[in-house]
A and B are shown apart, each in its own frame.
Chain A
């Protein structure tokens, strides 16, 4: 027998062993990293789809993408960005951070956690497996209105891949929600009260509650759809008395809380970054927490503002318009509290704060167009136009994506032990900001001029050409910013400056341990007496708990 293993195969063995370690891991930090990597992969795929669609819309009557492909791409783009990029990146970051922030050694249910990740990943792969089935991917839009999804109109298995993929990944999301609630309620460090957790933890608690209430109805609706398609049921089959309207209600009962699921954690990240980079405590912590919970509950009662034009009763129109505008109040409270935190602070203009400022300025604009859309009378005019596309991209990129980038630049040193390149981060930021504004601002104009969404091309002479061309140029400016970010992640892993345990001089517990943290997180579980336990440790002469 050969005793000397050749060098190459030994290396390969260790690679396999290394990968195996990731596959079988139940460590919340590794699972968190895998979630984020998965999300970034899907971000690049979904982004590619977006760029291809923008190229198709560059000229009137262009034939760069065939109509069916265009429809498939906008379906996949929306589905990917919401289910396989947005939620996983937030759940992944929360997975990594929540136990560290509350001084726990892991999530409450580590194996459930691993299951949640793998199921989410397989859900994504299942949706993309539709490329290999007869008829190709679904062409139903991300909200998949019935009866377009019924067997009569969508004969291929593409819709089944979509429905099963979302159902499966939904199970993973619910598992994550259960896990976060149990972890946050039951596993905080000794002494840490719920009103002392880092603010990000509050927003994850809010998001988890929304997951528990909003995802199961989607699961049920998907079950109904699958029963319709394969067992001959009639839920959404108008010919047998079924109602497409029910699907709209069920989908948006999930769909609207979903956007808050996507944005609350970003609020949390901003609430961590802004204080540290202003060198001040978060202004109005209690009101911020109240506002978060207010958003959680109000947002469960606003879903039908997606459906004004369907012809509901006047009473319902007024109720949903009013409830939708009501969300602006707690959200406004948050905006003012972040501004008050910044006010008079010693601003450290590093990349995390840069992205946070981008978030603050852009999200406000997205919020304002949201108020416009919530007004039922206006909504009748601009429903289903590019104004809506402009609005929700403004909120989801201006809100979630900027917030996530602020967070990723802030916590990357904790995860890897190295700093991201500030130079690359600044390139990324400015390209993203300029490209983003240029892509989505013109869409509002095109929408007001009557351009419907989800059309693969348009006639010349409608006054839409210029706005589409600007949007496409914007998309082409935005695209490299994401590539620069991906490059920065990889490059800094080797070449980034060494970070040390606490490169930002921060105050929350994740910075109290090493970078990267050991698998057990903390050598001894710290005792917490204030909202800034690390400040207390650093300044025993002037601890926070005296004033809280």
Chain B
């Protein structure tokens, strides 16, 4: 750097490789979910036997969990802002995000329980079951990983391992969380609005 300055060269700042890496990873995740969504859309209405989506999918429940997840994108944003401003409240907003994630997962668990136990819909019942559980299941797995990441970051921050106002672990976890949230917007639209 100093040598560059010595020869009078303007050295442009480089993007942080960790951030670039996270974006690249999320791009690959987007490709993965797109494939599952394509699978779902292609098989809409192609099931040979029931039950069909309108018969078994409960919209009020999912609207509730969706509101939780969308709100969590706001809370994680507030957490980041609080940290950047140096004001208190990071831990609260951050923990609220994780809690909203857990509520979402609980909603999914309840939905799956009623689908499996009450309506007898499993992965093997028909194409709807096959594609539904795969798509929603992979999304829920991502939310679960996200909650673990949120809690890990919170623990590390509490112990003082993430100093500064913009620790990269916080930023990247927030990006991941927004991404998982964004995927849900697509899943919700395809499964519960268009496909129902």
Contact = CB atoms under 8 A, between A and B. Distances in A.
B123 A227 contact: yes
Contacts, number: 123
Contacts of B16: 186
Nearest to A233: B130
A233 B124 CA distance: 5
Interface residues of B, number: 40
B27 A213 contact: yes
Contacts of A174: 25, 28
Contact of B42 (A190, A240, A243, A524): A243
Contacts of B194: none
B27 A212 contact: yes
A216 interface: yes
Most buried by A among B1, B24, B32, B48: B24
Given A108-B18, A220-B35, A224-B134, A212 B9 contact: no
A187 B13 CA distance: 10
Contacts of B160: none
A310 interface: no
Contacts of A217: 31-32, 34-35
A324 interface: no
A186 B61 CA distance: 44
Contacts of B131: 235
Interface string B1-25: 1011001010110111111110011
A157 to B, nearest CB: 20
Contacts of B31: 212-217
A177 B21 CA distance: 9
B182 interface: no
Contacts of A181: 20-21, 24
A537 B195 CA distance: 64
Most buried by A among B20, B34, B46, B123: B20
Contacts of B122: 232
Contacts of A253: 35
B60 to A, nearest CB: 28
Contact of A186 (B15, B35, B43, B134): B15
Contacts of A177: 24, 28
A232 B32 CA distance: 21
B123 to A, nearest CB: 5
B51 interface: no
Contacts of B17: 108-109, 182-183, 185-187
A242 to B, nearest CB: 6
Contact of B7 (A193, A220, A224, A527): A527
Nearest to A185: B20
A350 interface: no
Contact of B127 (A191, A211, A220, A234): A234
A235 to B, nearest CB: 6
B19 to A, nearest CB: 8
Contact of A190 (B4, B28, B123): B4
Interface in B34-64: 34-36, 38-39, 42-43, 46-48
A23 interface: no
A362 interface: no
Most buried by A among B11, B14, B17, B36: B17
Contact of A232 (B15, B21, B48, B123): B123
Nearest to A239: B48
B24 A178 contact: yes
A232 B28 contact: no
A191 B130 contact: no
B29 interface: yes
A216 B32 contact: yes
A179 interface: yes
B126 interface: yes
A8 interface: no
Interface SS of chain A: helix, strand, loop or mixed? Answer: helix
B11 A224 contact: no
Instruction: Say which size band chain A's interface belongs to.
Output: 35 or more
A231 interface: yes
A108 B134 CA distance: 33
Nearest to A220: B35
Nearest to B23: A181
Contacts of B130: 227, 233-235, 242
A486 interface: no
Interface in A499-536: 524, 527, 529
Contacts of B15: 185-186
B126 A109 contact: no
Given A178-B25, A241-B48, A241-B126, A186 B20 contact: yes
A246 interface: yes
A108 B122 CA distance: 43
Interface in A213-251: 213-217, 219-221, 223-224, 227, 231-235, 240-243, 246, 250
A212 B47 CA distance: 32
A188 interface: yes
B124 A234 contact: yes
Contacts of A179: 21
A502 B7 CA distance: 25
Given A227-B134, A240-B127, A241-B43, A250 B35 contact: yes
B9 A529 contact: yes
B35 A216 contact: yes
Contacts of A529: 7, 9
9 contacts: A174-B25, A177-B24, A190-B11, A212-B31, A214-B31, A217-B34, A219-B32, A241-B47, A529-B7
Counting from the closest, the 6 A-B pairs by CB-CB distance are A232-B124, A186-B17, A182-B21, A220-B35, A216-B32, A108-B17
Interface of A: 108-109, 174, 177-179, 181-183, 185-188, 190-191, 193, 208, 211-217, 219-221, 223-224, 227, 231-235, 240-243, 246, 250, 253, 524, 527, 529
Given A190-B4, A223-B134, A235-B131, 11 more contacts: A182-B21, A185-B20, A186-B14, A186-B15, A186-B16, A211-B28, A212-B24, A213-B28, A234-B124, A242-B130, A246-B42
